[in-house]
Amino acid sequence: MPGTYTHKFDTPAYKGEATIHTGLFIGGKWVDPIEGGTIDYNWAASFIRLDFAINPPASILAYKTVWGLHYPGAGRGKLLNKLADLIEKNIDEFAALEALDVGKVFAKAKVIDIGGAITCLRYYAGWADKVQGKTIETTENKLAYTRHEPYGVVGQIVPWNFPMGMVSWKIGPALATGNTVVLKPSEITPLTALKLADLINEAGFPPGVVNIVNGYGHTVGQAISEHPQIHKVAFTGSTLTGRKILKASAETNLKVVTLELGGKSPLVVFDDADIDQAVKWASHGIFFNMGQACTAGSRIFLQEGIYDAFLEKFTAIAHDLAAKTGDPFTPGTQHGPQVSQIQFDRIMSYIDSGKSDGAKVHAGGERHGSEGFFVKPTIFTDCHPDMKITKEEIFGPVAAVIKFKTEEEVIDLANNTEYGLACHVFSQNVNRAIRVAHALEAGSAWVNCAQFTDIAVPFGGYKQSGIGRELGEYALDTYTQVKAVHINIGTNL
């Protein structure tokens, strides 16, 4: 029987205890891994346990007997709504765990991460009984129609930067459409996913509908990608890992794969933009979540007429955030630490690279304080397209600022990347704003705002930023397969 981990919170923002099971959640029960070993405070899964999660009596058995098309959509929606209600009832505890695990500011974790997860689950609860095919007219001698059927067992691998948010983006549409789930949270930030498992039982989901297995990507993630009984995998993370998942699919059972990968998103500000609003949104676009967001507007293109005025205001916000950097549970904190030593070191190495390549540190460019994984909000100027800091995803609070003259020039500069996850355009000229948003090669285009997603609007990337779409009605298509049914009602041979 696996143990538990209890954390006592005694902070200005939250006081209380949170207890987490440290095993694997399979078939509605907590089980030990076959092989021992720990990753910090959570147990690593083995392929043997993963196989148990997928094969009877867990995921497949649940799908074939008590879930999928055996459980009406209205009932699936009711369970998703109940799960959302239970999370809302425990929202402070979930926010505290997210802040502890990731380093998010508690107040922001409560509203954005946990609040967003609740909204997402309720959204897909509403879709659960509206997954429909269509009747197709052919001839009077045939009745033809389509059914949108679940895949069965789906594997889901979520990242460390938005643990609960990404869990809800994955399990919401998967469960609404009748699939069973084998979910792997990040080994860096598993706490809220493990806490969620207890609420899944409390909500009344049949055993085996949701299974949560811990471990490293190269073991558990690889096993999910290769397992012959998993017919669909959804992954959010790096482009490098996305390639490995596609390769594993190709070499095994050709499972369907959706990927939400990296980004190096451009943020374009024209002379006619509302500068005050553009500065505020641009700051949110790069410094939100300490820069640890795949859609971060990390390449900031400023038209020469507003360059100086924008940079002055942008720098003031960066300095203000630096002054409000600290403990995520302390009131007034606006900027927390990076998630880990590895991520901190990675960001600092990119800052060093920017300096050595000739970019100018306009703000920040160093760690904050002498302890912890805090990085000052950083602004580089005198940047060029061939620098590492303008080409590669840093995943930290580091902005590369580039001056431009014309619309045509900035479109070419912005599209000069292997990524295509998002873009941002600021202009009061609606014709130009729409024209440029259409010209930029990205799956999401935000006009006069930044990193402003909505549960009802699809999300995904162009180029090497991914395959498929999450969120909105579009996500339902990625968790169903279309069956065409032909019924002969009059043709005789």
Q: What is the DSSP string of 284-299?
A: HHHHGGGG--TT---E
Dist CA 45 CA 218 (whole Å): 11
- Phi–psi pair at 395, nearest 5 degrees: 60, 50
Burial of 3 (0-12, 13-18, 19+ CB in 10 A): exposed
Residue 488, SS3 per DSSP: strand
Beta carbons within 10 angstroms of residue 307's beta carbon: 18
CA dist., res. 385 & res. 369, Å (int): 31
Collapsing DSSP to helix, strand or coil, 140 comes out as coil
What pLDDT does residue 49 have?
47
State the pLDDT at residue 32: 81
Residue written as token pair 């148990």: 52
**Which residues does 337 contact at the CB level (< 8 Å), separation at least 6?**
103, 290, 328, 344, 372, 373, 374
What is the model's pLDDT at position 110? 98
Q: Which residue has the tokens 């923002």?
A: 13
Q: What is the pLDDT of residue 2?
A: 75
What pLDDT does residue 290 have? 98
Buried b (16+ CB within 10 A) or exposed e, 406-423: ebeebbebbbebebbbbb
Note the pLDDT of residue 202.
98
Q: What is the pLDDT along the chain (493 residues), one digit of tens a residue?
A: 678 889 999 999 999 999 999 889 999 999 887 665 555 433 334 444 445 555 546 899 999 999 999 999 999 999 999 999 999 999 999 999 999 999 999 999 999 999 999 999 999 999 999 999 999 999 999 999 999 999 999 999 999 999 999 999 999 999 999 999 999 999 999 999 999 999 999 999 999 999 999 889 998 999 999 999 999 999 999 999 999 999 999 999 999 999 999 999 999 999 999 999 999 999 999 999 999 999 999 999 999 999 999 999 999 999 999 999 999 999 999 999 999 999 999 999 999 999 999 999 999 999 999 999 999 999 999 999 999 999 999 999 999 999 999 999 999 999 999 999 999 999 999 999 999 999 999 999 999 999 999 999 999 999 999 999 999 999 999 999 999 999 999 999 9
Class of residue 74 by CB neighbours under 10 A (exposed 0-12, middle 13-18, buried 19+):
exposed
Q: What is the pLDDT of residue 23?
A: 86
Of the candidates 94, 215, 111, which has an alpha carbon nearest to the alpha carbon of residue 163? 94
- From 93, 187, 260, 441, the catalytic residue: 260
Per-residue confidence (pLDDT) for residue 37, from 0 to 100:
54
Q: What integer pLDDT is reported at residue 42 of this predicted model? A: 32
In this predicted structure, what is the pLDDT of residue 158?
A: 98
| Euclidean distance between CA atoms 445 and 433, whole angstroms | 10
Angle, CA 359 vertex, CA 358 and CA 363 arms, to 5°: 140
Q: Where are the strands (E) in 219-373, listed by range?
A: 232-236, 256-260, 266-269, 299-303, 360-363
Position 107, amino acid: A
**What pLDDT is stored for residue 300 in this prediction?**
98
- In order, the DSSP letters of 74-109 are HHHHHHHHHHHHHHHHTHHHHHHHHHHHH---HHHI
Say if strands 142-150 and 135-136 run parallel, antiparallel, or are unpaired: antiparallel
Q: Are 46 and 37 in contact (CB under 8 A)?
A: no
In 137-263, where do the E strands start and end? 142-150, 153-157, 180-184, 210-212, 232-236, 256-260
Cα(105)–Cα(85) distance, integer angstroms: 23
Distance CA 379, CA 300 (A): 10
Alpha-carbon radius of gyration of the chain: 24
* pLDDT for res 55: 53
What's the pLDDT at 48? 41
User: In this predicted structure, what is the pLDDT of residue 215?
Assistant: 87
Question: pTM of the entire structure?
Answer: 0.95
Q: If you search the block for the tokens 């943020």, which residue do you land on?
A: 267
Residue 444 has a pLDDT of 98
pLDDT score recorded for residue 57: 64
Is 260 catalytic? The answer is yes
CA distance between the termini of the chain: 64
